Structure 1
Amino acid sequence: MATAYPAEPRAPRRSLLRPAIGVFGDLLFTVGVLLALLIVHSLWWTNLVADRHAGLSAERLRHSWSAPTAPPSAAAPPPFDPGEAVGFLHAPALGAGYQVLIKVGADNDTLADGVAGAYTTPYRAAMPWEARGNFALAAHRDGHGAKFHDLDRLKPGDPLVVETRDRWYVYRVDATLPETAKDDIGVIAPVPVGSPYGGPGRYITLTTCTPVYTSLYRMAVWGSLVREEPMDQDRTPPAELR
């Protein structure tokens, strides 16, 4: 009579899955850490670096303004070079003391310094002192200073003030465009497409990415010049900034 031997016990399936689950868990943890570091770099570190660069540039500009010069003439200032500082944008609705350094150029390198950049292409931004045109600016919504992070808080009637060496230019927000395509260049045209303006004037346009923390679309804020005031010796701000 043949002897029956008991079958060998099978190893539990879980013992085979456990190492795989452990490796997968370690991989997820590593990916999570890398994503967290990327977010910290994009939103915190780039803001820190950009604010430092913008602060130093602002100090240099104000120091240059303190140097004595000939009395301002009726002639327009000479053209600014790319990357050159023009002045400051003030927007009381975005917080007490809110100001952004304005430079020429809306390219990535310029905007990475935590400034608002005046477009040079596809339309050249008309400077505030020019007889007509659109002073179109761009700035980052998140990271690199995030100077236009709260741009969606601006509403019709809010003042926007541009400070230059010799004058204050006071604008009033007339309309906002919450969302448009990234390639909608009409919003920064001399007479912005979609704005309430029917002809040439002295306008300002602020643009940034939307929704927040993305770059899927663009938003725009349009304003028109209300008045300009000469700069006195004490650089007394207009009533909108007091």
Structure 2
Amino acid sequence: MAAGTEQDERVDVPPPPAPRGGRHPVAAAVSLFGELLITAGLVLGLFVVYSLWWTNVLADREADKQGNTVRDRWAGGPGALDTRDGIGFLHVPAMKNGEVLVGKGTGTTRLNSGVAGYYTDPVKSALPSDPTGNFALAAHRDGHGAKFHNIDKVKKGDAVVFETRDTWYVYKVYATLPQTSKFNVDAIAAVPEESGVKKPGRYITLTTCTPVYTSNYRYIVWGELVRTEKVDRDRTKPAELR
């Protein structure tokens, strides 16, 4: 009888059976943890998109609606100051954010609607038409319209213009403060001495959160009124806005 070859004598050994119940418990736990991390990442990503993009979309829509309401009322001719929907529009060319409607108060409801607000608390803001005082404003830097997002682009000598129904108020920036405490109410005082001024005048102060994407501190810009111009029939803009 002929001897079998080595290949004939080889016996295939089947692989060991898989553990009952599927994957090893450790592997299953690691897989589950990974899936949870991916889910958490997706949820966090969606929240960031909502906070930094979608809230801007909603706020811009609401701000446009409110702004149109104000301008429609202005079209009716001269009238008393209306603080319900907005008193006027802020123009800061250095921020490249177009016009910003300004209304009364700096609460969440006001600022989240994509506008700026003038302070009523803890310090009462003056209005531009007052003979002296500080027209102190706040707006979001990120989310909800982010109207003051580019406040760091505003430099000494830049123009800040406030438009009302019948008057253009032209201010010139004379000082900035990149970071200060959120509790620093002296920055919005009637005479903001921290900015370098010592006597009553007609000032404007812009405030917002800093650093970007946080609310730990406040960024401040101070300006002083240099002139006013009457609004003509065509609402011709001051030279600083052309």
Distance 1:25 1:193 in 2: 56
Q: CA deviation at 1:68?
A: 3.1
Q: TM-score by structure 2 length? A: 0.88
Are the aligned partners of 2:60 and 2:114 in contact in 1 as well (CA < 8 Å)? yes
Q: 1:35 aligns with which of 38, 44, 48?
A: 44
Distance 1:163 1:61 in 2: 12
Distance 1:173 1:69 in 2: 29
| Partner in structure 2 of residue 116 of structure 1 | 116
Report the AA paired with residue 34 of structure 2: G
Larger Rg: 2
Q: CA deviation at 1:69?
A: 3.7
Cα deviations by residue, 1:214-236 (Å, 9 ceiling, x for unpaired): 11111100000000011111111
Are the aligned partners of 2:69 and 2:85 in contact in 1 as well (CA < 8 Å)? no
Report the AA paired with residue 87 of structure 2: V
Cα deviations by residue, 1:171-191 (Å, 9 ceiling, x for unpaired): 000000000111111111111
1:45 has 2:54 as partner = yes
1:93 has 2:73 as partner = no
Distance 2:197 2:67 in 1: 33
Q: CA deviation at 1:40?
A: 1.0
Are the aligned partners of 2:95 and 2:148 in contact in 1 as well (CA < 8 Å)? no
Q: TM-score by structure 1 length? A: 0.88
Q: 1:63 aligns with which of 54, 68, 72?
A: 72
SS in 2 for 1:33: helix
| Partner in structure 1 of residue 161 of structure 2 | 161
How many residue pairs match? The answer is 221
Are the aligned partners of 2:63 and 2:113 in contact in 1 as well (CA < 8 Å)? yes
Distance 1:143 1:222 in 2: 23
SS in 2 for 1:102: strand
Report the AA paired with residue 183 of structure 2: D
| Partner in structure 2 of residue 20 of structure 1 | 29
SS in 1 for 2:38: helix
SS in 2 for 1:156: coil
Q: CA deviation at 1:147?
A: 0.2
| Partner in structure 2 of residue 234 of structure 1 | 234
1:122-141 → structure 2 map (5 Å cutoff): 122-141=122-141
Alpha-carbon RMSD across the aligned residues, in angstroms, is 1.5
| Partner in structure 2 of residue 222 of structure 1 | 222
Distance 1:68 1:202 in 2: 26
1:143 has 2:162 as partner = no
User: Could you say if the C-alpha distance between residues 27 and 207 of structure 1 is closer, same or farther in structure 2, counting changes exceeding 3 Å?
Assistant: same
Report the AA paired with residue 137 of structure 1: L
**Percent identity over the alignment?**
53
SS in 1 for 2:227: strand
| Partner in structure 1 of residue 9 of structure 2 | none
Cα deviations by residue, 1:165-206 (Å, 9 ceiling, x for unpaired): 010000000000000111111111111141111111100000
Distance 1:86 1:69 in 2: 13
User: Could you say if the C-alpha distance between residues 160 and 108 of structure 1 is closer, same or farther in structure 2, counting changes exceeding 3 Å?
Assistant: same
Q: CA deviation at 1:15?
A: 3.3
Task: Structure 1 unaligned segments of length 5 or more: list them.
Answer: 1-10, 71-76
